[in-house]
């Protein structure tokens, strides 16, 4: 007779610390939706869930590639015309001294590969607090302890330079800079970039510049690339089609490696070893990179017009609502209001879903200074939806904290 397996298969212990607050909340929202309630979603940064569309010329390029048989594997780094277009885009951003360019399955894979190629057990990486939770999830997967530096809410969420200095140890290998920032919507000043670059020089750090939202500067201020400020330093600049070009489901991201060749080349050999091991990014979708970067940019005008209007509506609500304050976001499509409440912010967002059917993400899911509480708003929905959501949040706060 066959033997019945009695012991359960348990997951690896290192997964105990893997968290992804944005998606984890979806389980609660799904439960509430199954009860027949319509959810107002302000939690997922996917423009295509709302009134945004992928530019038609990019869709046509992918369709043409599929029709023309570009459905097998590509080279591990990416197709030549995509790599050439990314180099051209880097030059327009002022990035020089480029040593390598590679295409990945979204910036999530860029992050995973770049951190895996760098960090040994016992090493650490400086990551912002608050930050996009992908970074802490990947580090937990690699069993690398967090070493976070604060963003200063009183200074428009600029990096806290003094805190960065305190957090650098002999085992610190690099620093992550998310600019524009998710979840706060802040944009780094040139002066701040220059100061961070000087610290990296002093301590032999590589900089991971996550600039996936670089074209979504709401008030048309210029975006300054970290690598353009510090051409001598080893910098990996992250970009992709998901946000600027409204194609998150295509999972097309890239890395631009710059800096002195003798310094960064050994590390890039490790990156390319991992790129080869996972074969390649989505092949036909790579044919959208060149038309995206070199073709019409008209959609950005309308996207930024909508974001500006919805940001301003969000800030008006924050200013008029008791127990809420918010630094105005300058880029991306997130706001990170601070809330003065007598309970934890994860309780706040969970009860908000259950009672008012509005989904936001708790600040503790991104990180925050002790003693402060926040939540993240995605202000991508149209004004009517945002107005209804904000009215519901306001009612919830008055009823719960009167």
Closest among 393, 230, 384 to 310, alpha carbons compared = 384
Closest among 225, 163, 152, 223 to 199, alpha carbons compared = 163
Look at residue 21 in the predicted model and tell me its pLDDT.
62
The dihedral built from the CA positions of residue 221, 226, 227 and 228, taken in this order, carries a sign that is positive
| Portions of the chain given CATH number 3.90.1150.10 | 13-53+298-401
Rounded Cα distance between 179 and 157, Å, is 11
Rounded Cα distance between 388 and 236, Å, is 41
Look at residue 27 in the predicted model and tell me its pLDDT.
80
Closest among 179, 154, 176, 155 to 164, alpha carbons compared = 176
| Portions of the chain given CATH number 3.40.640.10 | 56-294
The dihedral built from the CA positions of residue 292, 293, 294 and 298, taken in this order, carries a sign that is positive
Look at residue 4 in the predicted model and tell me its pLDDT.
66
When the candidates are 2.60.120.1440, 3.30.43.10, 3.40.250.10, 3.90.1150.10, the CATH number that belongs to 13-53+298-401 is 3.90.1150.10
Look at residue 1 in the predicted model and tell me its pLDDT.
59
Distances (CA, A) of 315 to 123, 220, 245, 283: 40, 18, 25, 41
- Decide: 224 and 188 in contact? Cβ < 8 Å: yes
CATH topology for the 56-294 domain = 3.40.640
What tens-digit pLDDT sequence spans the chain (402 residues)?
566 666 787 778 777 767 666 666 778 888 888 999 999 999 989 999 999 999 999 999 999 999 999 999 999 999 999 999 999 999 999 999 999 999 999 999 999 999 999 999 999 999 999 999 999 999 999 999 999 999 999 999 999 999 999 999 999 999 999 999 999 999 999 999 999 999 999 999 999 999 999 999 999 788 999 999 999 999 999 999 999 999 999 999 999 999 999 999 999 999 999 999 999 999 999 999 999 999 999 999 999 999 999 999 999 999 999 999 999 999 999 999 999 999 999 999 999 999 999 999 999 999 999 999 999 999 999 999 999 999 999 999 999 998
Rounded Cα distance between 237 and 231, Å, is 12
pTM of the shown model:
0.94
Give the chain as a 3 state SS string.
CCCCCCCCCCCCHHHHHCCCHHHHHHHHHHHHHHCCCCCEECCCCCHHHCCCCCCHHHHHHHHHHHHCCCCCCCCCCCCHHHHHHHHHHHHHCCCCCEEEEEEECHHHHHHHHHHHHHCCCCCEEEEEECCCCHHHHHHHHCCCCCEEEEEEHHHCCEECHHHHHHHCCCCEEEEEEECCCCCCCCCCCHHHHHHHHHHHHHHCCEEEEECCCCCCECCCCCCCCHHHHCCCCCEEEEEECCCCCCCHHHCCEEEEEECCHHHHHHHHHHHHHHHHHCCCCCCHHHHHHHHHHHCCCHHHHHHHHHHHHHHHHHHHHHHHCCCEECCCCCECCEECCEECCCCCHHHHHHHHHHHHCEECEEHHHCCCCCCCCEEEEECCCCHHHHHHHHHHHHHHHHHHHC
Q: Please count the other Cβ atoms lying within 10 Å of the Cβ belonging to residue 298.
A: 9
């Amino acid at each position: 007779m066959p033997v019945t397996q009695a012991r359960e298969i348990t997951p690896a212990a290192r997964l105990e610390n893997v968290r992804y607050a944005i998606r984890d909340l979806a389980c609660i929202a799904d439960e509430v939706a199954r009860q027949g309630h319509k959810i107002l979603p302000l939690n997922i940064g996917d423009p295509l869930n709302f009134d945004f569309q992928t530019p038609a010329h990019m869709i046509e390029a992918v369709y043409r590639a599929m029709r023309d048989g570009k459905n097998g594997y590509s080279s591990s780094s990416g197709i030549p015309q995509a790599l050439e277009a990314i180099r051209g885009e880097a030059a327009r951003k002022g990035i020089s001294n480029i040593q390598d360019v590679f295409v990945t399955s979204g910036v999530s894979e860029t992050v995973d590969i770049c951190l895996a190629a760098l960090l040994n057990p016992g090493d650490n990486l400086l990551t912002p607090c608050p930050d996009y939770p992908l970074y802490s999830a990947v580090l937990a997967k690699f069993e690398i302890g967090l070493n976070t530096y604060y963003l200063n809410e009183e200074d428009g969420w600029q990096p806290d330079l003094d805190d960065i200095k305190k957090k650098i140890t002999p085992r610190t290998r690099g620093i992550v800079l998310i600019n524009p920032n998710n979840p706060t919507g802040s944009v780094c000043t040139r002066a701040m970039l220059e100061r961070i670059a000087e610290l990296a020089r002093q301590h032999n750090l590589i900089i991971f510049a996550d600039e996936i939202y670089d074209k979504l500067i709401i008030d048309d201020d210029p975006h300054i690339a970290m690598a353009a400020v510090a051409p001598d330093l080893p910098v990996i600049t992250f970009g992709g089609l998901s946000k600027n070009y409204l194609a998150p489901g295509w999972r097309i991201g890239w890395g631009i490696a710059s800096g002195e060749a003798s310094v960064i080349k050994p590390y890039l050999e490790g990156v390319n070893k991992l790129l080869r091991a996972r074969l390649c990014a989505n092949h036909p979708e790579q044919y959208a990179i060149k038309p995206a970067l070199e073709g019409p940019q008209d959609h950005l005008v309308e996207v930024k017009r909508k974001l500006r209007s919805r940001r301003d509506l969000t800030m008006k609500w924050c200013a008029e609502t008791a127990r809420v304050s918010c630094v105005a976001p300058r880029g991306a499509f997130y706001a990170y209001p601070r809330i003065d409440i007598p309970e934890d912010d994860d309780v706040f967002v969970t009860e908000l879903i259950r009672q008012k059917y509005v989904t936001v993400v708790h600040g503790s899911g991104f990180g925050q200074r002790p003693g402060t509480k926040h939540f993240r708003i995605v202000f991508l929905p149209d004004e009517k939806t945002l107005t209804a959501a904000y009215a519901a949040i306001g009612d919830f706060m008055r009823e719960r904290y009167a």
